[in-house]
A and B are shown apart, each in its own frame.
Chain A
Amino acid sequence: MDWIAMATGFILILMGLYGALTERNILRIIVSFTVANTGVNLVLVAVGYMHGRTAPILDKTVPVAEAVARIIDPVPQALVLTAIVIGLGVTAMMLTYAYKLYEEKGTLDVSKCRDLKW
């Protein structure tokens, strides 16, 4: 049953990509990319999941001694945090470009700026 998380992650990625690649409006593209990023983050976390284990916080409930047997894999958790932040950074950049695009071309349609071709 634990593959459900990963499957939903993959599905989220596919949906996000479909949205990103077919939508004309840049804002919708940004939103669909964010959906795709959340999908990736979900997959990242899902990889680290182990059946019947708890969060990697060593406190009273999970003493240091039996940590090895009780906690799930902490590394994907760390990675996902960085991935989220980086996703945010790229989204912020995309928003700036969207703003500049509207300011320059007066439209939000990505297919309008095609003067660089061939």
Chain B
Amino acid sequence: MIRNFAVFLLLLGLGAIFLHLLDGYVPASELNQTARYYAEHTAQDLGAANIVTAIIVTYRGLDTLGEVTVLFLASTIIGMVLAQGSKRQRALQRKLPASGELLTTGSRLLVPLILLFGAYVFVNGHLTPGGGFQGGAIIASAALLVLLTDPLKRFSHKLIALVESISGLVFVGVGVLGMLLAGGFLDNRILPTGEFGALFSAGAIPLIYSFVGLKVGAEFTSMLTNLAETEKS
């Protein structure tokens, strides 16, 4: 009881801090220097329509690299932790009722569409809103749908790991190439920026972002499958 009351008090304090922040907050009237730079230079430097993607992939490419590593890390650790062999066999033998008619036919129809839509999203990352992460999530949702319909379905871990590692290596490779050929690590100008708005424009951004999409999709699916395979009940 006292703990809850203590937590409540502390959160009131934190609330005070946030209030302090809030009333000290004055929304900016126009872009600050970083944002203005991005707004002006993204188009002709990188040739990417979606400034956010440009920032994510090139300007703050290292963050993205970090993110991807976070995901890779999470999936490897889950794989490491849940990879105890014995549980996997027990999970297979258990008897399950067949999933509903609606679900099986629906999924059979929707899965390819979702996959296609996911691919579209991460391919056009530099033009339309969205990008590698969003596309990967969509692909993973497809995998989730498949698992929902048939919980005992096993994806081949080898394939997922392969996709994951290759896309990671490509990402790092492109980064290193950026350093060798262009201005710095993860610089996208190793490929021609092409004319503004076209599919094959903005240098290496689409390439990086699509591989990021594949990698994220692979990692999510591996996480999901690992969690699913160790399901007891």
Contact = CB atoms under 8 A, between A and B. Distances in A.
Q: CB atoms of A and B under 8 A apart anywhere in the complex?
A: yes
Interface size class of B (residues with CB under 8 A): 35 or more
Given A57-B50, A71-B39, A96-B78, A85 B133 contact: yes
A1 B133 CA distance: 31
A82 B64 contact: yes
B71 A85 contact: yes
Secondary structure dominating the interface of A: helix
Interface stretch (B3-11, B103-111, B150-158, B187-195): B3-11
B197 A59 contact: yes
A78 B4 contact: no
A67 interface: yes
A84 B66 CA distance: 13
B52 interface: yes
Given A14-B18, A57-B128, A86-B67, A22 B39 contact: no
B34 A75 contact: yes
Interface in A50-105: 50-51, 55-59, 64, 67-69, 71, 73-75, 77-79, 81-82, 84-86, 88-89, 92-93, 95-96, 99-100
A90 to B, nearest CB: 8
Contacts of A58: 42-43, 49-51, 196
A66 B57 CA distance: 23
A75 B51 CA distance: 9
Contact of B70 (A14, A85, A95): A85
A117 B230 CA distance: 31
Nearest to B79: A96
A78 B60 contact: yes
Contacts of B4: 22
B227 interface: yes
Contacts of B82: 96, 99
B129 A75 contact: no
A6 B4 CA distance: 26
B28 interface: yes
A7 interface: yes
A18 B11 contact: yes
Interface of B: 3-4, 7-8, 11, 14-15, 18-19, 21-22, 25, 27-32, 34-36, 38-40, 42-44, 49-52, 55-56, 59-60, 63-64, 66-67, 70-71, 73-75, 77-78, 81-82, 127-129, 131, 133, 196-197, 223, 227, 230
